[in-house]
Structure 1
Amino acid sequence: MDAPSDAFLWVKALHIIAVVCWFAALFYLPRLFVYHAMSEDQTSHQRFQIMERKLYRGIMWPAMLATLITAHFLVDWGDATQHYHAATWFYLKVGLVGLLVIYHLVCGYYRKKLIENAHYKSHKFWRFFNELPTFILFAVVILVVVKPIF
């Protein structure tokens, strides 16, 4: 098997960085929702609105886009040797990434709802909601590393 090109390795490194940044934001934004829902004063509400907006627009969106764009190139370049399109694990992973994109968009929806009403949902709901990407992360890493045959 030929060694991967330098360009492929650079894109792979950028992909990993983008994934880490995206997951950091996916973990942190719902945690901010927990604190936002528990806050009682207007100053706190405003502070959380600003933090949530900056995280969502300034980190989550760019990180998600970078993740998806670099993933496209990795699949396109790597499919010749890795045969991704012939592997069930690959389609499961793509489906889970699709769920992450939906989760990302739902976070944006909830962010706007919290602006209207900080007590839209309880802090207990947000604590549960905060854990959902963790399960997807576990599954995606196992699929990519182990590549189980179904």
Structure 2
Amino acid sequence: MQYYLYFKAFHIVGFVSWFAGLFYIVRIFVYHAEADDKPEEMRDEWKKQFALMSERVYKIIMNPAMMITWTCGLLMLGFNHSILQQNWIKVKLVLLVLLTAYHLYCKKIVGKLKRNEKTYNSFQFRLLNELPTLFLVSIVLLAVLKDVLNFLYLFGGVIAFGALLYLIAKAYKKSREKNQK
């Protein structure tokens, strides 16, 4: 039982670090996209720096944190495999697979930025940066409320929260454009 608590502690440390990396890397993508608006003599140097930063965040923070999260989570399931009979953990595992796909998609973007290929504009990256928030809220609610939570309400709430984040991002974009004039 004592090992289970260590795995749980490191699982929490892992997912906190993983989400920190997921939030930070897409913020770097935003800055990389905004470098196109800088004077030409600065643009290439800034883009190289942001590409390097995103590559380091991916390799040094995100990958190890994801591996710690998955490893400790699976070890916890190994010590308490009866938990797999509960519906909330099945939904959580599906969300984690989708989050891992998002993680790998970020790797694809890191490669494109390194090769200086066209990706998204800064607004699109800002929207992409909200996806981990939706995953975080969903996963934490599942882990805390477990089967008490009605999954349909959770899904509806996450969709509504995502729509709210989109509206906030649109308003922020409009405000920035207004202030630039």
TM-score by length of 2: 0.75
How far residue 113 of structure 1 moved from its aligned partner, in angstroms, is 1.3
Aligned ranges 1:36-75 → 2 under 5 Å: 36-40=32-36, 41-75=43-77
How far residue 11 of structure 1 moved from its aligned partner, in angstroms, is 1.2
Deviates more, 1:5-14 or 1:41-50: 5-14
Runs ≥4 in structure 1, deviation > 3 angstroms?
Answer: none
- Identity over aligned pairs, percent: 35
Q: Which runs of 5+ in 1 are unaligned?
A: none
How far residue 22 of structure 1 moved from its aligned partner, in angstroms, is 0.3
RMSD: 1.3
In 2, the alpha carbon distance for the partners of 1:61 and 1:120 equals 22
- Code of the aligned partner of 1:52: S
How far residue 91 of structure 1 moved from its aligned partner, in angstroms, is 0.5
- Code of the aligned partner of 2:59: R
CA contact (8 A) 1:21 1:60 kept: yes
2:90 is matched with 91
How far residue 118 of structure 1 moved from its aligned partner, in angstroms, is 6.0
Q: Give the structure, 1 or 2, with the largest relative contact order (CA under 8 Å, sep 6 or more).
A: 1
Secondary structure of the residue that 1:121 maps to in structure 2? coil
- Code of the aligned partner of 2:10: L
- Count of residues paired in the alignment: 143
1:26 is matched with 22
How far residue 116 of structure 1 moved from its aligned partner, in angstroms, is 2.6
Which structure is larger by alpha-carbon Rg, 1 or 2? 2
Q: For each residue in 1:5-35, what CA deviation from the matched residue of structure 2 results, as whole angstroms up to 9, or x when unmatched?
A: 2211111111110110000001110110000
- Code of the aligned partner of 2:126: R
In 1, the alpha carbon distance for the partners of 2:11 and 2:45 equals 37
CA contact (8 A) 1:34 1:123 kept: yes
Q: Which runs of 5+ in 2 are unaligned?
A: 37-42, 151-181
1:11 is matched with 7
